Amino acid sequence: MRIPRRIPLFCALVFFSLSSLALHAQDVGLSVVIVPPQVPANNENTRLFSESFETLVQTEFLSAGYKVVPFASTDSAVSEGSGTEGETPDALDKAVAIANASGVRLCVVINVVVSARFLVYSVYAVDARYSLVLGSDSGSVYAGLTALAVIQDSAKAFVAHTIVRVVEAGAGSAAIPIPYAITLKSRDEGAEVFLGESQESAAVVENGIAVLPYIPLPENSRLAISLKKDGYYDSSRQVKLLGKEKAYTLPELRPLQNNALVLSWGYGRLLGMGGAYRHYLISDQVFLFGEDDLYLQYGFNPYASPVFHNDIFMGIGAYLFFDPSSAFRVSAALGGGAMLTLLPQKYAQQRFFADYYAVPFCLQFEYFIRGRQLVLEFRAPFAFDTGTGLLGQRWCMISEFLPMITLGVVLPL
């Protein structure tokens, strides 16, 4: 019987591969301790998959020539991981402590949960020498027989990646992952945090912070974070992960507006205030408004008397550029109104005056900053000569050529 020529060649290649991995492991003299998943009582499915995943990972390390040290859970090993007195050690510290307690360089931590017929798993390896997460993998799959193939592939990929990183870490060329779980600061209580394109919530803002699950992302990499909350516009931000920075502040979400109050003050009526009510026909796009500006005209001169003006303005406005979640927006409005004037004087044929006007174009620039929507408005009314007023028929300008310029804040109702 002739032996096919390919079989000796195949055996030689397998032998060569295994030998090279074993020699590599011997060269670096690595051992690994594997922290098995914590299995809840009476959860047979979780136990089965946990044991399978642990065995697969263990086999892969053994195949690569690593020595696998049995894990002995001790409180002392965990407590050694606390960096500062009184602090709870994080996952990285714990893994480093376990590796040190076991006298090995690598600590592999496995988590497996079966819930609602889904298997969710994760695994990561920590290099105790450099306090680095060298590799990780995670996923979720239907908790059936097909899951075994998935976790097998995961275990293989994880171990292969990890042992390459062990070499890189030894050579000092590894990209250093951040050694902490990212904390996000947000004023939007109850908002959900989403990572990348994921549709699953990664964390929820509670008491002003949201702590993400630990992800061994390299330093200086960028993480896309989205914040979502009912009644608010979604907000996205890219966070650059810096070595020492653990907490990142997210921009405040902008609420969907159906009604708003606008308080304003500005050039042309510095001695007074304006208040406007906005009702949005289309949320944050088209609005009706009614405004009342009450102000004094007074020269701070002992010979002057205050003149009272009340400007009532109504109209419709629409945002022209930029979508509602944008920080900067431009809107235009048109409308009409009346400026009522009370002229206190000793002898007067007429004390009350009413100037009726139209505003064909009123421009508003809005900027959303620190949870406040600021608005800068330019308005130039055209007054009509109805015989009841002081302005006559003309464009109303201040100091001959300036429109009224006001600064306001939009308060959602």
Task: Please give the Cα distance from 122 to 138 (Å, whole number).
Answer: 4
The pair of three-digit structure tokens given for residue 266, joined into one six-digit string? 């500005």
Choose, by CB under 8 A, the member of 270, 282, 318, 327 that binds other proteins. 270
CA-nearest of 262, 253, 258, 254 to 284 is 258
Residue that has been written with the tokens 């920590």 in this structure: 126
Instruction: Determine, following the binding rule CB under 8 A, whether residue 400 of this chain makes contact with other proteins.
Output: yes
CA-nearest of 57, 107, 42, 413 to 263 is 413
Instruction: Determine, following the binding rule CB under 8 A, whether residue 266 of this chain makes contact with other proteins.
Output: no
| CB-CB contact of 227 with 185 (8 Å) | no
235-240 sheet: strands from edge to edge? 201-204, 192-195, 222-228, 235-240
Span near other proteins by CB under 8 A; candidates 38-46, 143-151, 188-196, 263-271: 263-271
Residue that has been written with the tokens 């804040």 in this structure: 409
Q: Which is nearer to other proteins, 93 or 355 (CB)?
A: 355
Span near other proteins by CB under 8 A; candidates 208-216, 253-261, 298-306, 367-375: 298-306
Q: What are the beta bridge partners of residue 218?
A: 177
Phi, psi angle pair for 401, to nearest 5° = -140, -5
Choose, by CB under 8 A, the member of 42, 144, 303, 370 that binds other proteins. 303
Choose, by CB under 8 A, the member of 18, 304, 327, 369 that binds other proteins. 304
Instruction: Determine, following the binding rule CB under 8 A, whether residue 86 of this chain makes contact with other proteins.
Output: no
Instruction: Determine, following the binding rule CB under 8 A, whether residue 405 of this chain makes contact with other proteins.
Output: no
CA-nearest of 48, 33, 23, 12 to 107 is 33
Q: What are the beta bridge partners of residue 277?
A: 261, 290
CA-nearest of 330, 340, 386, 394 to 362 is 330
Span near other proteins by CB under 8 A; candidates 11-19, 152-160, 242-250, 397-405: 397-405
Q: How far is the CB of 316 from other proteins (least distance, A)?
A: 22
Task: Please give the Cα distance from 169 to 306 (Å, whole number).
Answer: 78
Instruction: Determine, following the binding rule CB under 8 A, whether residue 392 of this chain makes contact with other proteins.
Output: yes
Residue that has been written with the tokens 């590799």 in this structure: 135
Instruction: Determine, following the binding rule CB under 8 A, whether residue 298 of this chain makes contact with other proteins.
Output: yes
Residues in region 356-385 near other proteins by CB under 8 A:
381, 383, 385
Q: Helix 146-171 and helix 44-63: axis angle, to 10°? A: 40
Choose, by CB under 8 A, the member of 297, 310, 325, 326 that binds other proteins. 297
Instruction: Determine, following the binding rule CB under 8 A, whether residue 269 of this chain makes contact with other proteins.
Output: yes
DSSP secondary structure letter of residue 140: E
| CB-CB contact of 363 with 342 (8 Å) | no
| CB-CB contact of 56 with 152 (8 Å) | yes
Span near other proteins by CB under 8 A; candidates 13-21, 59-67, 196-204, 269-277: 269-277
Site mask for other proteins (CB under 8 A), range 329-358, x = bound? ----------x-x-x-xxxxxx--------
Q: Which is nearer to other proteins, 103 or 299 (CB)?
A: 299
Q: What is the DSSP string of 153-210?
A: HHHHHHHHHHHHHHHHHHHT-SPPBPSS--EEE-S-TT-EEEETT--SEEEE-BTTEE
Choose, by CB under 8 A, the member of 396, 406, 408, 410 that binds other proteins. 396
Q: How far is the CB of 204 from other proteins (least distance, A)?
A: 41
Q: How far is the CB of 302 from other proteins (least distance, A)?
A: 7
Instruction: Determine, following the binding rule CB under 8 A, whether residue 306 of this chain makes contact with other proteins.
Output: yes
Q: Which is nearer to other proteins, 108 or 396 (CB)?
A: 396
Q: What distances in angstroms separate CA 350 from CA 150, 251, 298, one per listed residue?
A: 90, 55, 20
> What is the chain's Cα-based Rg?
35
Q: Which is nearer to other proteins, 221 or 305 (CB)?
A: 305
Task: Please give the Cα distance from 19 to 85 (Å, whole number).
Answer: 46
Choose, by CB under 8 A, the member of 37, 274, 337, 389 that binds other proteins. 389
Instruction: Determine, following the binding rule CB under 8 A, whether residue 393 of this chain makes contact with other proteins.
Output: yes
Span near other proteins by CB under 8 A; candidates 84-92, 120-128, 247-255, 262-270: 262-270
Choose, by CB under 8 A, the member of 15, 394, 407, 413 that binds other proteins. 394
Q: How far is the CB of 400 from other proteins (least distance, A)?
A: 6
Span near other proteins by CB under 8 A; candidates 100-108, 174-182, 293-301, 359-367: 293-301
Please tell me whether residue 302 adopts helix, strand or coil conformation. coil
Instruction: Determine, following the binding rule CB under 8 A, whether residue 301 of this chain makes contact with other proteins.
Output: yes
Site of interaction with other proteins (CB under 8 A): 267-271, 295, 297-307, 309, 339, 341, 343, 345-350, 381, 383, 385, 387, 389-394, 396-400, 404
